[in-house]
Structure 1
Amino acid sequence: MKNSVSGVRAPNLVDALAGGWVADSASLGLHWLYDSQRILEVGGASPEFLPPKAEYFRGGFGYFAHGGKEAGDISHYGAATGVLTDSLLANGGRLDIRDYQRRFRAFFGPGGQWQGYIDNPTRVTLNNLDTIERKAIEQARATTTVSLTDQQRRILVQKVLPYTSRLSGDQLAEPVRKAIDLTYHEAGVQEAGVHLAQTIDRYLLRESGADDMQLPAVSKLPPLVACYCGHDDLLEKTEAAVRVTNHNDEAVAWARCTARLLEAVFQGKPMSVALDAAASEAPHPDPLHKARSGDSLDPAGAGNTFGRTCYLNEAMPVIFHILAHADSFTEAVRANIHCGGDSCGRAWIIGPAMAAIHGAGGERGIPLSWLARVTDAPAILADTEALMTSLS
């Protein structure tokens, strides 16, 4: 059954989600350069879409992580958002945790498509998924009552794993029997295989993430919030998705804050109303209120006050400061880069929120020329449009 987007038109959501891709790509060249003065020296007033170069980091504190990338490429944050987008698109806008885990593992794991930096939550999640699967197999083998040879046990596991990675519950029995019947016709062996599959299925945990409260917990949320915008189970789905990569209570609390922020702007509410709604879910609201105070946009000052690292307790006040004070998408993205530090991670909240308010084009929206500078923009935007269309 398809979801329906409550209280917002799909074209507005396409603009909003496009804002995340653009803001991430625009920030990549100076990502994780923590020295705001050095950022000004390198990028001046227009620091967006610079090619990642190690030389930019000389003379300022930072970590150069994106060697081999080019201007317009996305970060690992964008890559992870793409994985969740693909999973949502494959399931008609519905969150399927098993499918999401499988795609995440296939994309970032050995032999996967991703070439680039791997953050701590991703690395630990990949290890956890391997461990969870191994323990599930051990449990299944230990409870199998049919007498099997060692070779049969190995082959049965090989037969069932492709199905437990994408199916669950009652969906397993018939395809597993058919797969085993290609090699073993005996009913007992087939039933042993079904038992293996169903037991593995029961022990594959949905909470596969790292005990980590950094920005990867929330950066991939925009497409999920777009799919569940206005639905009663938005926060439940948010938590389920976050715990796939960040199994941490505070990360989940910041994710709830983020989901309420994005939901409100996706529904066309004013930024001030969205920030109020988000702060009510925050585990530490006082820094958020402080970040909104004052009359002027001061990204370097916000970084000095709240911090520039990947941790959510530092990043969210900076995000609130920029969203509360920036008057356009361009101004917000540039301010985010000028702040320094984890600009790509913050971009995935700032970009969609500002694009939801101001759209694409015009004086305040996403510059159309910036859309064209994102690597693989046609494919990315086509998937975004297809996802939003699937909700109508």
Structure 2
Amino acid sequence: MALSVADRAIGAIIGAAVADAAAQPMHWIYNSDRLKEVLSDLEPCPEFRPQSANPFYRRTTGEQTCYGDQAYVLLESLSQCGDVDVKHLTKRFYEFFGPGTVYDLTLNDPYRKKGGPKAILPIDGPWRNGSLKAFLRNVDAGKQESGCDVDCQIDGVTKLAPVVAMFAGRPEMLEKVESAIRVTQNNDMCVAVTLTAARFLEHFILKGPDPNALDSVLAQLNDLNRKNPQELDRAVIAHISQVKENVAKASHQLIPAVFTNT
């Protein structure tokens, strides 16, 4: 059955939420040998591992990571406001991740000083990552720009589905994505990467499956008249081209030999 643009937009939101929950029990396993060991018991179906193997935090299988929870807050705000309302989004992020929430754990304290007692990991509960902790400090300080300017994690890409789904095909789509991302990540590299991911997702929402999607997005990024140009677009183009050159190789051949710190 052929899917409509609306079907694919809804599918993008649901798919992102399901994927986040499916991967959460194995989130942040940086030791490749340990990851291989965990996966060996699960193949060919590693999703929704019943017991958490996460070395940093534990949540019940089916719950979201801090990335999926950010996507939920963005979806909720868009639903209530009908647009990217920075003031409302800032308020909702603070209410969801701030004081008195399930994220408000001692180890996740945005003001926790280094050099204190060594943390016992994993903790029971969700994890505030660096950008969220900086966001909370910036809001507390009354700063006009609430987003973290140094953290360069993947938050933007993982939470963009709701805003791309709402604005796909509209000329302001990329502008809306950037406004939403800078609420918690006011970092130019994060924005450039997220806008590229938004172009990919928009392409699939509008056109459906397309083996030429990568070349189409590269063409957009190389267009001198592209919408919402970023100074770091050339760096993103180079990285995507590198991925394209290595796409036939297995992950263990590429990480960390080719794509370091991945």
- Scaled to the shorter chain, the TM-score interval is 0.7 to 0.9
Comparing 11-20 with 237-246, which one deviates more in the overlay? 11-20
Asked if residue 36 in structure 1 is aligned to residue 25 in structure 2, the reply is no
1:22–1:307 distance in 2 versus 1, CA, 3 Å: farther
- Give the total of aligned pairs: 221
Asked if residue 258 in structure 1 is aligned to residue 197 in structure 2, the reply is yes
For the 8 Å contact 2:8–2:208, the answer to whether it is kept is no
Give the Cα separation in 1 of the matches to 2:138 and 2:246: 44
Whose RCO is larger (CA < 8 A, sep 6+)?
1
Give the Cα separation in 2 of the matches to 1:113 and 1:86: 18
1:273 shift after superposition: 3.3
1:34–1:99 distance in 2 versus 1, CA, 3 Å: same
1:8 shift after superposition: 5.2
| SS of equivalent residue, structure 2 residue 84 | coil
Where does the alignment leave 5 or more consecutive residues of structure 1 unmatched?
1-6, 57-62, 134-204, 310-392
1:219 shift after superposition: 1.6
Equivalent residue for 1:370? none
Q: Which amino acid aligns with 2:201?
A: L
Q: Which of the two has higher C-alpha Rg?
A: 1
Equivalent residue for 1:163? none
For the 8 Å contact 2:192–2:236, the answer to whether it is kept is no
Percent identity over the alignment is 33
Equivalent residue for 1:78? 68
Return the match for 1:23 from 13, 19, 23.
19
Q: Which amino acid aligns with 1:117?
A: W
Equivalent residue for 2:132? 122
Equivalent residue for 2:167? 228
1:250–1:50 distance in 2 versus 1, CA, 3 Å: same
Where does the alignment leave 5 or more consecutive residues of structure 2 unmatched?
104-124, 222-232
1:300–1:23 distance in 2 versus 1, CA, 3 Å: farther
Equivalent residue for 2:243? 291
Equivalent residue for 2:253? 301
Structure in which a larger fraction of residues adopt helix: 1
Asked if residue 87 in structure 1 is aligned to residue 77 in structure 2, the reply is yes
Asked if residue 101 in structure 1 is aligned to residue 90 in structure 2, the reply is yes
1:64 shift after superposition: 1.5
Matches within 5 A, 1:78-227: 78-92=68-82, 94-112=83-101, 114=103, 116-132=126-142, 205=144, 207-211=145-149, 212-227=151-166
Give the Cα separation in 2 of the matches to 1:295 and 1:98: 41
- Give the TM-score of the pair, scaled to structure 2: 0.76
Q: In the TM superposition, what whole-angstrom CA distance separates every residue of 1:310-334 from its partner, at most 9, and x where no partner exists? A: xxxxxxxxxxxxxxxxxxxxxxxxx
Equivalent residue for 2:214? 275
Give the Cα separation in 2 of the matches to 1:84 and 1:32: 23
Comparing 100-109 with 41-50, which one deviates more in the overlay? 41-50
1:290 shift after superposition: 2.2
For the 8 Å contact 1:88–1:224, the answer to whether it is kept is yes
